[in-house]
């Protein structure tokens, strides 16, 4: 088995979402992990705008940043995953962490962006509950 086939099998089968969108933000790759997290099948997502997973109130800054990256090739996202909310097919919100990689053509022009996304909703909810509990305990101690 060659390395390209191995890579394709890894992407296809991972439980993390692997999404690739072209320069215009149209979805070109959507794996089983993306189906699981967002609820859209690969067939439904193919060719659709990333708007299907970006909550309405975050779309304007998302696209402003997207086109800035397409124009400049520069991103403010480094090695640390970015934490953002995502939109599921049923309209519910999911807490995500993701990293991106830019895919460039032979001339160095950005063709699109691939993202690997992980649902961190359970951890985010636990952390929020812990923070609330600490605040309650501190308030009780001050009373």
How is residue 23 written in tokens?
A: 């320069």
pTM of the prediction? Answer: 0.83
> pLDDT (tens digit, 0 to 9) for every residue of the chain, 143 residues total?
788 898 888 888 888 999 999 999 999 999 999 999 999 999 999 999 999 999 999 999 999 999 999 998 888 766 678 889 999 999 999 999 999 899 999 998 999 999 999 999 877 667 777 777 778 778 788 87
Query: 94: domain range?
Result: 3-142
Q: How many domains does the chain have?
A: 1
- Can you give the CATH number for the domain in which 19 is found? 3.30.450.20
């Amino acid at each position: 088995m060659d390395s390209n086939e191995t890579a394709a099998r890894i992407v296809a089968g991972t439980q993390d979402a692997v999404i690739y969108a072209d320069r215009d933000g149209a979805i070109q790759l959507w794996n089983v992990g993306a189906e699981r997290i967002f609820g859209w099948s690969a067939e439904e997502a193919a060719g659709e705008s990333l708007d299907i997973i970006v909550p309405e109130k975050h779309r304007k800054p998302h696209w402003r940043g997207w086109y800035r990256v397409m124009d400049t090739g520069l991103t403010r996202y480094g090695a640390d995953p970015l934490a953002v909310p995502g939109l599921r097919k049923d309209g519910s919100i999911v807490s995500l962490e993701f990293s991106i990689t830019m895919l460039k053509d032979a001339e160095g022009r950005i063709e699109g962006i691939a993202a690997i996304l992980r649902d961190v909703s359970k951890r985010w909810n636990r952390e929020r509950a812990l923070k609330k509990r600490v605040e309650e305990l501190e308030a009780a101690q001050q009373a």
